[in-house]
């Protein structure tokens, strides 16, 4: 074997060694991330269940309802992120649709939280001096969130359509 062939052989061996070890590190990181997300989801479900129980006991407290809905949607986001990690691990590449679904859930969660909080301030006795500015900022945020939700739904539709046989042309 001449010197050039020896160098190519060593380079291929080194590249193969690096690829195998980086794959092991990637698999290990996905495993740890998946376990931590799973644990977070279980703790979140327990917290949401406890919050729901307190909400049932204190039916007259609308803030408890807002908190319970927020926690349940947060758990849904964690589960979707866990699904995204699982799909990315299985496919070996990042897949766009699960990230869009997580973003969609997060945007809807925020929109629901804003509207639930705003519904609590419906009597003039609860208004403060800066209420108009808060109202304006809330309306802008709701508009931006509505636009983001529309964009993500369209993106998910296009992605699904492009993966169907005879889909996008």
- For the chain, which residues make up each domain, given as ranges? 3-121+128-163
Mean pLDDT over 3-8 rounds to 70
Angstrom distance (rounded) from CA 152 to CA 158 = 10
Instruction: Please enumerate in sequence order all residues whose Cβ is within 8 A of that of 162, keeping only pairs 6 or more positions apart, or say none.
Output: 168
Between 159 and 64, the more confident residue is: 159
Whole-number pLDDT of residue 48: 86
- Give tens-digit pLDDT for 112-127: 888 877 776 665 666 6
Mean pLDDT over 11-38 rounds to 86
- Give tens-digit pLDDT for 50-74: 888 888 887 767 777 777 888 888 8
pTM for this predicted structure: 0.66
SS3 call for 33: helix
- Give tens-digit pLDDT for 77-130: 888 888 887 877 777 777 788 888 888 988 988 888 888 777 766 656 666 666
| Radius of gyration for the chain, computed over Cα atoms and rounded to the nearest angstrom | 24
Angstrom distance (rounded) from CA 31 to CA 37 = 10
């Amino acid at each position: 074997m001449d010197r050039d062939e020896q160098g190519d052989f060593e380079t291929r061996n080194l590249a193969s060694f690096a690829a195998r070890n980086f794959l092991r590190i990637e698999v290990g990181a996905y495993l740890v991330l998946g376990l931590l997300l799973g644990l977070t989801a279980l703790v979140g479900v327990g917290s949401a269940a406890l919050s729901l129980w307190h909400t049932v006991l204190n039916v007259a407290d609308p803030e408890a309802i807002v908190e319970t809905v927020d926690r349940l949607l947060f758990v849904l986001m964690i589960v979707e992120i866990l699904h995204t990690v699982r799909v990315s691990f299985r496919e070996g590449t990042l897949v766009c649709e699960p990230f869009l679904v997580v973003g969609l859930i997060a945007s809807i969660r925020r929109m629901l939280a804003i509207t639930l909080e705003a519904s609590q301030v419906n009597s003039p006795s609860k208004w403060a001096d800066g209420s108009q500015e808060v109202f304006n900022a809330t309306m802008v945020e709701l508009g931006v969130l509505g636009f983001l939700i529309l964009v993500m739904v369209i993106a998910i539709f296009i992605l699904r359509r492009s993966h169907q046989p005879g889909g996008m042309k």
